[in-house]
């Protein structure tokens, strides 16, 4: 390869890399218009038993006021929501209650907060607050990164 083509190739790489990085930042961070449904109060009952929550996945919309009634059907269980950092607990016959406004979109694990047995650290459920822009942004960023790397290194 001559010096000129080497230089051109290197310039293309830097250019493609820079554009990709900029697009990834846009995909991850650009403010988007809110497409929320009208906020409402969501009453949810989650049953905890070793070592699962039922339902395992809960979906609400951003802005909803979420009221979770935690019921336990065997031993004492807790419920801690990652990201929101709130918790409650329940034991058989004594449900727990949690109320919060779902003001952050994305998927958040909720997990048992009271040791309940061997699989306790893996007693996990998922709260999805829609529109799940975090996931969409991450997927868009992944596609951009893959495409950008292909362009940058196609002739490298």
Residue ranges that bind another protein, judged by CB under 8 A: 24, 28, 49, 51-54, 56-57, 80, 82-85, 104, 106-109, 111, 113, 115, 117-126, 128, 132, 134-135, 138-139, 141-143, 145-146, 148-150, 152-156
Question: What's the CA gap between 84 and 107, in Å, rounded?
Answer: 11
Pick between residue 68 and residue 84 the one whose CB is nearest to another protein: 84
- Minimum distance, C-beta of residue 5 to another protein, in the bound complex (Å): 14
Output the smallest distance, CB 1 to another protein, in A. 12
Q: Taking a C-beta distance cutoff of 8 angstroms, is the pair 131, 105 a contact?
A: yes
Q: What is the smallest separation between the CB atom of 75 and another protein, expressed in angstroms? A: 12
Nearer to another protein, 18 or 38 (CB): 18
Helical residues (DSSP H) of the chain, grouped into ranges:
3-29, 133-153
Handedness of CA 139, 141, 146, 150 (dihedral sign): positive
Query: Smaller CB distance to another protein: residue 97 or 109?
Result: 109
Say how far apart CA 137 and CA 145 lie, in whole Å.
12
Decide if 45 contacts 53 (C-beta within 8 A). no
Which residue from 79, 82, 77, 78 is spatially nearest to 104, judged by alpha carbons?
A: 82
Question: Is the CB of 34 or the CB of 147 nearer to another protein?
Answer: 147
Cβ at position 40, least distance to another protein in Å: 22
């Amino acid at each position: 390869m001559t010096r000129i083509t080497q230089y051109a190739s290197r310039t293309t790489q830097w250019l493609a890399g820079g554009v990709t990085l900029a697009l990834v930042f846009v995909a991850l961070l650009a403010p988007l218009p809110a497409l929320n449904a009208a906020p409402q109060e969501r009453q949810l009952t989650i049953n905890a038993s070793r070592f699962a929550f039922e339902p395992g996945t809960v979906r609400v919309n951003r802005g909803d006021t979420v009221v979770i009634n935690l019921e336990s059907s065997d031993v004492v269980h807790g419920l801690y929501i990652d990201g929101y950092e709130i918790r409650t607990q329940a034991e058989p016959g004594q449900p727990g209650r949690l109320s919060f406004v779902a003001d952050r979109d994305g998927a958040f694990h909720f997990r048992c907060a009271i040791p309940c047995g061997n699989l306790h650290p893996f007693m996990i459920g998922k709260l999805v607050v829609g529109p799940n822009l975090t996931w969409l942004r991450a997927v868009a960023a992944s596609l951009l990164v893959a495409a950008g790397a292909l362009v940058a290194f196609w002739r490298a």
